[in-house]
């Protein structure tokens, strides 16, 4: 293909196909809530989703089978320009209406009407006038919650045999795929409150105007509804809102009321403390409060457990703890005499064995459950009673030997002696209790002591201490952050890693920081040599890319017990033609950006990808599947990697090079022609060749490093045959041994008649393409 033909094709592709990509770089489609956040098997209903940058929404996708979803409508608040246009139209309509209401005089001067001059005011004009006045009255120059101001209505049908449980829902828009939000399939009857809007009960412009002139009238009054048990109720809490549900209950019933609010939307970026803090209160027929909860142990979502003392009518009330509210304060309450596990013991077992766990809770079918512990890791377990599933609780499986704590062991003299390595399953059974374990070690041995409790739903807030035979404290730890536990804001589990100073006997002391105790304060304590390992997170969990194009993603390496080696990434059982570039986490690094290149053909539905990490640890190859995640902000400041169920890639639109406009099949994304990694000397330069021209029909291509590593810049680009040569420079800030990937964004600098021509050309000056990741290493001079 000639260079001129390349330029024409790339230029046309940039103008027509790459504009959505340029916009997507600036505006990522986002959904902030789904309401209701679930539904019953065999039902059909409408969902309301609130978000931002949802223009051109076409599809809704729910993971798993048995659910169909169709987009019905999309509403976006009017802009200032649209507001001004509506005012002009309002003026025109008012003039027309006034003309029609004036007395008309016939040709002889008599009062009356003349059919030749009579205004043609119609009922359609009345409707348009009222609609415009409503829109003007509702216009907000700066919305209070812009992240959820756009709404999409989706019709959902859940088949009768759809698998109960949690799913993920995403929207596809012009700008790509949104983030996922939780959608639940249940087996219980569901009651759903009407979606919250300011103008729910407003019929006319005059009513809207009155509300806007008296803001205190916009506070939402109490909502009340009667339900029958068991049931799930769905609602939204607006500012000042209080929702109440009346039901009848019989003496002796053991009722469970479990609210899901923070569970549905883990973090809200622009609200403190970062989620909807729901409270539950239960009242009897006389209006007397008989139970209350604003949390369940360390979980923000409340759970009420109440044994009914007498037949009668009861009322369950929910509101925000400080009466905040907005559309994304969404909840689901499961209510009835249903199974609910409050705890298990032990919290885990050894891989390849059967473990019998004791069950604690309400309305359970048995007091114990035998589990087959197969692969190591954490799994979720539940039980059923009368066909209804309980809540899920975690159960850990490991390959190390296990034992149960042996009481009494409250002092060094009475310590439970263990042989390393070991996992001890125990409880801090009494307030102020301390469990002590002794072991023998040699000088120079490196020992790890780690508690798994809070990460396994135990309320224990552990404290670990290591002492020698004289009682001298060698190490102490209260909290240890585990970024793999993205839903925990208090990392209450403890971790010690110590090199023993001498041969002899040592003691590990474990207790609760708050000196609490009880059967529910269970733990798993690992003591032994470091078990080097890693986990992976891939963000974002929703990826949008044009056919044949390339997009950057981020891999987070969660290293454990001192592991610092290289981790290579690869696709596992992926559809053909997806490729990774720069798929490697360098030694000692916790984060790397790499790229995914999509096939040249589009797909109607998102494709689920799995990415696997591999590393050599102590001579063995260890493989770990990466967990998709969303990098979520909490309360303006804190960030968390929140796990998602699937990594989904939506490939749609026109291919990057637009070969089809030349009568040929679409061509592939630009390729890196140089061998990798490129080695850049400190204070010097290195070149990389790319299979892409330097100019297009519309102007020259400009290359820019996206989130450039410190000390590395693009010094210049130039034509090199049919491609482009990129010269990279490393200054004194770059350090020898530094490794990683360079992500290069491509934009068009319009020339001649295209320079400065409208929004389209402005978009081309932004990112219109991304090159495959360029791996680099900084070397000495």
More confident site: 151 or 135? 151
Helix (H, G, I), strand (E, B) or coil at 614: strand
Per-residue burial over 725-753, b = 16 or more CB atoms within 10 Å of its CB, e = otherwise: bbebbbeeebeeebbbbbbbbbbbbbeee
* Beta carbons of 399 and 376 less than 8 angstroms apart: yes
Dihedral over Cα of 706, 711, 715, 717: its sign: negative
Phi then psi for residue 726, to 5 deg, are: -105, 125
pLDDT band of 593, cuts 50, 70, 90: very high
More confident site: 769 or 660? 769
More confident site: 106 or 161? 161
Q: Flag whether pLDDT at 16 surpasses 70.
A: no
From 71, 201, 202, 72, select the one nearest 131 (Cα to Cα). Answer: 202
* Beta carbons of 278 and 340 less than 8 angstroms apart: no
Cis, bond preceding 421 (omega within 30 deg of 0)? yes
| HEC readout, 422-436 | EEEEEECCCCCCEEE
Of 25-34, 203-212, 220-229, 531-540, minimum mean pLDDT range = 203-212
CA separation for the pair 151, 54 (Å, rounded) = 8
Long-range contacts made by residues 699-702, C-beta under 8 angstroms, separation at least 24?
Answer: 699/11, 699/748, 699/749, 699/750, 699/751, 699/752, 699/754, 699/755, 699/764, 700/748, 700/749, 700/751, 701/10, 701/746, 701/747, 701/748, 701/749, 702/746, 702/747, 702/748, 702/749
Return the DSSP state at 486: T
pLDDT number for residue 203: 42
CA separation for the pair 233, 334 (Å, rounded) = 7
pLDDT number for residue 346: 98
Of 436-445, 686-695, 731-740, minimum mean pLDDT range = 686-695
pLDDT number for residue 253: 98
| HEC readout, 72-135 | EEEECCCCHHHHHHHHHHHHHHHHHHHHHHCCEECCCCCEECCCCCCCCCCHHHHHHHHHHHHH
From 605, 612, 580, select the one nearest 593 (Cα to Cα). Answer: 580
Any residues with CB less than 8 A from the CB of 288 and at least 6 apart, and which? none
- To which residue do tokens 């919250």 refer? 196
Per-residue burial over 486-512, b = 16 or more CB atoms within 10 Å of its CB, e = otherwise: bebbebbbbbbeeebeeeeebbbbbbb
Q: Averaged over 349-369, what is the pLDDT? A: 96
Cis, bond preceding 253 (omega within 30 deg of 0)? no
CA separation for the pair 168, 179 (Å, rounded) = 9
Tokens representing 214 are: 């008296």
Tokens representing 108 are: 């002889």
Mean pLDDT across the chain = 88
More confident site: 27 or 73? 73
pLDDT number for residue 769: 87
Q: Give domain limits for the chain.
A: 1-18+661-781, 340-398, 405-481+491-529
Q: Flag whether pLDDT at 380 surpasses 60.
A: yes
pLDDT number for residue 17: 41
Cis, bond preceding 281 (omega within 30 deg of 0)? no
More confident site: 721 or 263? 263
Question: Going by CATH, does the domain composed of 1-18+661-781 fall within 2.30.42.10?
Answer: no
The pTM for the full model equals 0.87
Q: Which fold has domain 405-481+491-529?
A: Jelly Rolls (2.60.120)
From 622, 638, 459, 658, select the one nearest 549 (Cα to Cα). Answer: 658
pLDDT number for residue 99: 80
- To which residue do tokens 């330097």 refer? 694
| Percentage above 90 pLDDT, the chain | 70
Q: Flag whether pLDDT at 183 surpasses 50.
A: yes
Of 34-48, 52-66, 218-232, 298-312, minimum mean pLDDT range = 218-232
- To which residue do tokens 């269970």 refer? 522
More confident site: 711 or 14? 711
pLDDT number for residue 574: 85
Beta bridge partners of 447: 498
More confident site: 487 or 228? 228
CA separation for the pair 657, 669 (Å, rounded) = 7
Q: Averaged over 166-171, what is the pLDDT? A: 98
Q: Averaged over 630-645, what is the pLDDT? A: 90
* Beta carbons of 561 and 585 less than 8 angstroms apart: no
pLDDT number for residue 101: 66
pLDDT band of 198, cuts 50, 70, 90: very low
CA separation for the pair 574, 578 (Å, rounded) = 7
pLDDT per position as a tens digit, 547-575: 999 999 999 999 999 999 999 999 999 88
Q: Averaged over 26-52, what is the pLDDT? A: 95
Q: Averaged over 610-637, what is the pLDDT? A: 94
Q: Flag whether pLDDT at 447 surpasses 80.
A: yes
Q: What is the CA radius of gyration of the chain?
A: 32
pLDDT band of 224, cuts 50, 70, 90: very high
Q: Flag whether pLDDT at 655 surpasses 90.
A: no
């Amino acid at each position: 293909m000639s260079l001129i033909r390349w330029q024409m094709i790339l230029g046309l592709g940039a103008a027509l196909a790459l504009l959505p990509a340029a916009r997507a770089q600036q505006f990522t489609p986002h959904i902030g809530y789904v309401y209701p956040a679930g539904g019953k098997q065999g039902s059909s209903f409408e969902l309301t989703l609130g978000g931002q940058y949802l223009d051109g929404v076409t599809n809704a996708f729910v993971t798993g089978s048995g659910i169909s979803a169709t987009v019905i409508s999309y509403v976006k608040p009017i802009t200032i320009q649209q507001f001004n246009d509506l005012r002009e139209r309002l003026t025109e309509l008012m003039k027309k209406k006034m003309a029609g209401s004036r007395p008309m005089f016939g040709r002889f001067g008599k009062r009356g009407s003349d059919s030749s001059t009579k205004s043609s005011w119609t009922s359609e004009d009345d409707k348009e006038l009222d609609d415009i006045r409503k829109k003007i009255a509702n216009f907000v120059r700066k919305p209070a919650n812009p992240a959820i101001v756009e709404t999409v209505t989706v019709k959902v049908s859940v088949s009768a045999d759809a698998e109960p449980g949690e799913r993920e829902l995403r929207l596809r828009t012009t700008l790509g795929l949104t983030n996922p939000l939780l959608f639940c399939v249940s087996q219980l009857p569901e009651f759903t409150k009407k979606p919250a809007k300011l103008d729910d009960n407003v019929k006319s412009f005059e009513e809207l105007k009155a509300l806007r002139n008296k803001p205190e009238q916009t506070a939402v009054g109490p909502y009340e509804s009667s339900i029958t048990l068991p049931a799930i109720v769905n609602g939204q809490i607006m500012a000042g809102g209080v929702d109440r549900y009346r039901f009848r209950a019989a003496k002796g019933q053991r009722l469970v009321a479990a609210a899901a609010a923070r569970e549905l939307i883990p973090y809200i970026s622009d609200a403190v403390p970062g989620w909807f803090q729901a409270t539950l209160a239960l009242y009897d027929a006389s209006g007397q409060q008989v139970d209350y909860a604003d949390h369940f142990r360390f979980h923000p979502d409340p759970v009420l457990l109440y044994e009914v003392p007498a037949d009668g009518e009861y009322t369950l009330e929910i509101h925000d703890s400080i009466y905040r509210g907005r559309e994304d304060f969404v909840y689901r309450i499961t209510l009835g005499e249903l199974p609910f596990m409050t705890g298990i013991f032990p919290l885990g077992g050894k891989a390849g064995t059967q473990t019998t766990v004791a069950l604690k809770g309400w309305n359970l079918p048995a007091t114990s459950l035998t589990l087959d512990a197969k692969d190591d890791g954490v799994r979720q377990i539940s039980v059923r009673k009368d066909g209804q599933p309980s809540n899920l609780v975690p159960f850990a499986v490991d390959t190390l030997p296990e034992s149960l704590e042996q009481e009494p062991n409250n002092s060094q003299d009475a310590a439970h002696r263990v042989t390393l390595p070991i996992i001890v399953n125990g409880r801090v059974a009494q307030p102020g209790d301390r469990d002590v374990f002794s072991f023998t070690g040699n000088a120079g041995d490196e020992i790890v002591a780690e508690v798994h409790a809070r990460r396994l739903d135990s309320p224990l807030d552990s404290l670990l201490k290591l002492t020698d035979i004289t009682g001298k404290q060698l190490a102490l730890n209260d909290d240890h952050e585990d970024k793999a536990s993205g839903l925990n804001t208090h990392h209450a589990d403890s971790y010690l890693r110590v090199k023993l100073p001498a041969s002899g006997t040592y003691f590990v002391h474990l207790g609760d920081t708050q000196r609490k105790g009880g059967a529910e304060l269970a733990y798993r304590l690992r003591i032994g040599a470091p078990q080097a390992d890693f986990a992976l997170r891939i963000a974002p969990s929703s990826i949008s890319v044009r056919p044949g194009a390339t997009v950057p993603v981020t891999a987070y390496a969660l290293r454990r017990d001192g592991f610092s080696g290289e981790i290579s990434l690869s696709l596992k059982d992926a559809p053909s033609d997806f490729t990774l570039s720069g798929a490697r986490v360098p030694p000692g690094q916790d984060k790397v950006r790499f790229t995914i290149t999509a096939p040249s053909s589009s797909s109607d539905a998102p494709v689920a990808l799995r990415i696997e990490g591999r590393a050599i640890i102590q001579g063995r190859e260890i493989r770990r599947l990466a967990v998709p995640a969303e990098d979520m902000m909490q309360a303006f400041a804190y960030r968390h990697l929140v796990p998602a169920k699937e990594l989904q890639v939506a490939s749609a639109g026109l291919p990057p090079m637009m070969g089809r406009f030349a009568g040929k099949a679409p061509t592939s994304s630009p390729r890196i022609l140089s061998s990798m990694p490129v080695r850049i000397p400190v204070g010097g330069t290195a070149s990389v060749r790319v299979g892409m021209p330097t100019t297009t029909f519309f102007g020259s291509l400009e290359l820019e490093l996206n989130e450039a590593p410190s000390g590395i810049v693009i010094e210049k680009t130039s034509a090199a045959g049919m491609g482009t040569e990129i010269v990279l420079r490393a200054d004194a800030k770059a350090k020898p041994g530094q490794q990683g990937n360079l992500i290069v964004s491509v934009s068009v600098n319009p020339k001649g008649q295209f320079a400065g021509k409208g929004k389209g050309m402005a978009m081309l000056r932004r990112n219109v393409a991304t090159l495959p990741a360029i791996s680099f290493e900084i070397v000495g001079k």
